[in-house]
Amino acid sequence: DQQVKQNSPSLSVQEGRISILNCDYTNSMFDYFLWYKKYPAEGPTFLISISSIKDKNEDGRFTVFLNKSAKHLSLHIVPSQPGDSAVYFCAAISGTYKYIFGTGTRLKVLA
Amino acid sequence: EPEVTQTPSHQVTQMGQEVILRCVPISNHLYFYWYRQILGQKVEFLVSFYNNEISEKSEIFDDQFSVERPDGSNFTLKIRSTKLEDSAMYFCASSRDGREKLFFGSGTQLSVL
């Protein structure tokens, strides 16, 4: 049962443009969402999070949008940089403190 | 910034052997986790641990797996009799309160031959 889905396995974007990574979830009990970036042979690193009581959270070049009615969240990176090339995972948690991860989207930022 | 440390970074073992993967979570964190990632696949939840007991485990975490916090700093994952399909990158993670960001270690690459 895939409760958190990232339907795009990969995405290529030109340097300086916007990267939009999408994530859908099925469990309406999820109330906190996170985005992680992962480089090969490293552990995931936290990027940004959002509570279900908000619809937007911004941190520098990174903005996360949450649409609860659609059970959809997205991560916007503006402007995209070559160093942003990595695999991005969205994650969701409910009150049980179990973080469920999506399948990941590989972002490639082209110089 | 404080970090989660994992040892060893690579572990090669023969099928049927026991392995212990070690982790030192961030010192003031209360929730501890093990995840794994088979090459090219998603990061899968294995188990969460709080207050010296398992709070939740996945269907992957069968009787061959166990976790322990033997002292105030270490958190271990034991696989009693490894199988070929246990080959994966195993990540330890910790969280201060189970509701905020999860900090991951750099992982242990387990190869079962």
In this predicted structure, what is the pLDDT of residue B7? 95
Q: Which of A99, A103, A105 is the best substitution to test chain B (most B C-beta atoms within 10 A)?
A: A99
Answer yes or no: do B107 and A100 touch at CB < 8 A: no
For the purposes of burial, counting CB atoms within 10 Å of the CB of B70, is it exposed (0-12), middle (13-18) or buried (19 or more)?
exposed
In this predicted structure, what is the pLDDT of residue B1? 75
B10-69 pLDDT, tens digit per residue, is: 999 999 999 999 999 999 899 999 999 998 788 899 999 998 999 999 999 999 999 999
Report yes or no: A24 and A71 within 8 Å, Cβ to Cβ: yes
Q: Which residues contact A108 (CB under 8 A, 6 or more apart)?
A: A10, A11, A12, A13, A85
Average pLDDT, chain A: 93
Among A77, A99, A86, which Cα is nearest to A33's?
A: A99
Answer yes or no: do B95 and A101 touch at CB < 8 A: no
Kindly indicate the confidence band of residue A69, based on its pLDDT and cuts at 50, 70 and 90.
Answer: very high
A57 in contact with chain B, both atoms CB, cutoff 8 A: no
| Closest Cβ–Cβ partner in B43, B48, B100 for A89 | B43
In this predicted structure, what is the pLDDT of residue B100? 78
**Tokens 């970090």 identify what position?**
B3
Can you spell out the DSSP letters for B67-100? EE--SSS-EEEEESS--GGG-EEEEEEEESSSSS
B41 in contact with chain A, both atoms CB, cutoff 8 A: yes
Percentage of chain A beyond pLDDT 70 is 97
Output helix, strand, coil percentages for chain A, rounded to the nearest 5.
Answer: 5, 55, 40
Answer yes or no: do B102 and A46 touch at CB < 8 A: yes
Alpha carbon separation from A38 to A56, A86, B107 (Å, rounded): 23, 6, 12
Residues of B in contact with A39 (CB under 8 A): none
Count Cβ–Cβ pairs < 8 Å, chain A vs chain B. 59
In this predicted structure, what is the pLDDT of residue A1? 59
Answer yes or no: do B56 and A96 touch at CB < 8 A: yes
Kindly indicate the confidence band of residue A96, based on its pLDDT and cuts at 50, 70 and 90.
Answer: low
| Closest Cβ–Cβ partner in A93, A97, A104 for B42 | A104
**Tokens 């940089």 identify what position?**
A81
Pairing assessment for the beta strands A10-14 and A105-110 based on DSSP bridges? parallel
A33 in contact with chain B, both atoms CB, cutoff 8 A: no
State the smallest CA–CA distance between residue B41 and chain A in angstroms.
Answer: 7
The CB-side HSE value for B42 (13 A sphere, CA atoms) comes to 20
Average pLDDT over residues A58-83: 97
In this predicted structure, what is the pLDDT of residue B99? 76
